[in-house]
Chains A and B, each alone.
Chain A
Amino acid sequence: MASDGVVALYGNNNNAVVEPSSKPAAATFSVKVGLAQMLRGGVIMDVVTADQARLAEEAGACAVMALERVPADIRAQGGVARMSDPALIRDIKRAVTIPVMAKARIGHFVEAQILEAVGVDYVDESEVLTLADDAHHINKHNFRVPFVCGCRDLGEALRRIREGAAMIRTKGEAGTGNVVEAVRHVRSVMGAVRALRNMDDDEVFSYAKQIAAPYDLVMQTKQLGRLPVVQFAAGGVATPADAALMMQLGCDGVFVGSGIFKSGDPARRARAIVQAVTHYSDPEILADVSAGLGEAMVGINLSDPNVERFAARSQ
């Protein structure tokens, strides 16, 4: 692959267009993407206490997401969901050595500033929390801390990357234990990339307009044959089989939210999902690790019109 043919990303070269000069030169986009690359082939687990974080680390999670409530509880309790208490995040950071992520509301750049000051390793600008700005996302180029954002299709993914996201996850439908939306979103992105690869270069201009994505990133995606950042699956993964399915569909790793700590035997399930992601193409190991896990989280049927769609909260 000729790397010189690749179209530049913001912040990827010396004369950074966006990063203000007051920031140390070290926070390059490649360093931000780099951590996500180190998480590839891993499982990121939602935790609400330091004990759960330790359990996740013990099971082999490659990172934890520090939350006050898992998505299933946010769904059940309703109300406004906000950033977690920094004290909780600090507790969890002290408890484990693996990277700690935390969620900020979409568009709430002050929550993101706070999380950066607390020293989290990744910020998830998440549709699972209530929106703070219904028109704009955070300008993620302004931060040293890297961001992960959700997407439902290629256009949305590339818009987030242009805003500075260094990692992309599918939105899925968090807190439902139902993987159908996550599969839809992965298939949508992967299918669009495959179509793009076979497209004539002359058609890319119009295609970029059609999916409302920046032309240079569309072109870069075409040349790479994949998203230009790491892509994880999220939203509804509840079993080792779900996790392996997402990997076989082409994701680089998996977020598991409510699926672990809302199940019968969290420690065992966590370990099984970690193994399923590593050995995602080995059905015999998948059969072994899927056996005797106890009760999975209760799923929610998404054809019920009363179920709120978190994924549709942002564009």
Chain B
Amino acid sequence: MAVVGVLALQGSYNEHISALRRIGVKGVEVRKPDQLQGLDSLIIPGGESTTMAKLANYHNLFPALREFVGTGKPVWGTCAGLIFLANKAIGQKSGGQELIGGLDCTVHRNFFGSQVRSFETELSVPMLADKEGGSPTCRGVFIRAPAILEVGSDVEILADCPVPAGTPSITITSGEGVEEEVYSKDRVIVAVRQGNILATAFHPELTSDSRWHRLFLDMDKESHAKAFSALSLSTSSRDAEGRLNPRPLDLPIFE
């Protein structure tokens, strides 16, 4: 069976490991470079990206993480993880922070503003429903969330969402803040895939909908070419889990 690593420096790594356990997969915590050995795929959880970058630096994790992404093994970043995987991030602390890179896009670190502007919404996700069954929408929990402003041509857009009314106008300062432009579109990208890199600005690990985790594991299987039959999640059982209630009582999830 595939071994899924979860970067456990800070943030919602416990939630990811519980979400994996719910679909019968073991997640292992990764805190040091040598713990990346032997992993088939890696999840970078939500959390404070600044904090996670600092901690990764203290233990010299960035080269190992870049190498891991470079091998083409599946990597999934949620929220802070999305920022880590982006080639370019704006709206960072002064002096910036180190990124892993690999995903061809520009991310705004705190697009939706402070916590009073955090929200949850139903996202339209036809691709996810197509591959994993269930309803054509999923519940997106956005916590001081980033958003993807631009993507490269290789990047597949899996979900976008309307920019909530009252979001402070986002000024895109590139480089030294010389050229400024205001983000004017009324929708913003929140989930993308490029090859074996999956990234979401919201937190599937905070909901009971495990389709994103399944999608990620299926990427893993695709990348191995030969099918792992260990994950015996039959199509019928997935359909049965197709959620009828618009808002299940699933939070908070702890284990």
| Interface-located stretch among B108-116, B169-177, B178-186 | B108-116
Is the Cβ of B115 less than 8 Å from the Cβ of A35?
A: yes
**B249 is an interface residue with CB less than 8 A from chain A:** yes
* Total of A-B residue pairs, C-beta within 8 Å: 155
| Interface-located stretch among B46-54, B64-72, B98-106, B222-230 | B46-54
Q: Looking at the assembled complex, report how far the CB atom of B57 sits from the nearest CB atom of chain A, in whole angstroms.
A: 9
Is the Cβ of A13 less than 8 Å from the Cβ of B247?
A: yes
**A63 is an interface residue with CB less than 8 A from chain B:** yes
CA distance A225 to B254 in the complex (A): 9
| A4 surroundings in chain B (CB, below 8 A) | 248-249
Q: Looking at the assembled complex, report how far the CB atom of B208 sits from the nearest CB atom of chain A, in whole angstroms.
A: 5
Range for the number of chain A residues in contact with chain B: 35 or more
- Contact string, A16-39, partner B, CB cutoff 8 A, digits 1/0? 000000001011111101110111
**A170 is an interface residue with CB less than 8 A from chain B:** no
| A1 surroundings in chain B (CB, below 8 A) | 18, 22, 253, 255
Is the Cβ of B58 less than 8 Å from the Cβ of A3?
A: no
Is the Cβ of A39 less than 8 Å from the Cβ of B48?
A: yes
Is the Cβ of A42 less than 8 Å from the Cβ of B51?
A: yes
Contact residue among A24, A41, A97, A224 (Cβ-Cβ distance under 8 Å from B92): A97
Once A97-B110, A99-B48 are accepted as A-B contacts, the answer to whether A278 and B252 lie under 8 Å apart by CB is: no
Q: Which of B120-147 contact A (CB under 8 A)?
A: 120-121, 141-144
Is the Cβ of B48 less than 8 Å from the Cβ of A38?
A: yes
| B23 surroundings in chain A (CB, below 8 A) | none
Contact residue among B51, B91, B116, B248 (Cβ-Cβ distance under 8 Å from A62): B51
Instruction: Identify which of B31, B54, B253 gathers the most chain A CB atoms within 10 Å of its CB.
Output: B54
**A96 is an interface residue with CB less than 8 A from chain B:** yes
CA distance A14 to B94 in the complex (A): 40
Is the Cβ of A42 less than 8 Å from the Cβ of B143?
A: no
| A189 surroundings in chain B (CB, below 8 A) | none
CA distance A282 to B9 in the complex (A): 13
Range for the number of chain B residues in contact with chain A: 35 or more
Q: Which of A215-250 contact B (CB under 8 A)?
A: 224-226, 228-229
- Contact string, A141-155, partner B, CB cutoff 8 A, digits 1/0? 000111000000000
Is the Cβ of A121 less than 8 Å from the Cβ of B115?
A: yes
| B8 surroundings in chain A (CB, below 8 A) | 41, 278
Q: Looking at the assembled complex, report how far the CB atom of A293 sits from the nearest CB atom of chain B, in whole angstroms.
A: 15
* B residues at A contact (CB < 8 Å): 8-15, 18, 22, 31, 46-48, 50-51, 54-55, 58, 79-80, 91-94, 109-110, 114-116, 118-121, 141-144, 164, 203, 206, 208, 246-255
* A residues at B contact (CB < 8 Å): 1, 3-4, 6, 8, 12-14, 24, 26-31, 33-35, 37-42, 54, 57-63, 93, 96-99, 116, 119-122, 144-146, 224-226, 228-229, 271, 274-275, 277-279, 282
* Chain A to chain B: the 4 pairs with minimum beta-carbon distance, closest first: A26-B119, A60-B54, A30-B251, A121-B115
Given contacts A33-B252, A98-B50, A229-B252, 20 further A-B contacts (CB under 8 A): A4-B248, A4-B249, A8-B249, A14-B246, A24-B119, A34-B118, A35-B118, A37-B252, A38-B143, A40-B13, A42-B47, A42-B48, A61-B51, A93-B114, A116-B116, A119-B114, A121-B115, A144-B116, A145-B115, A145-B116
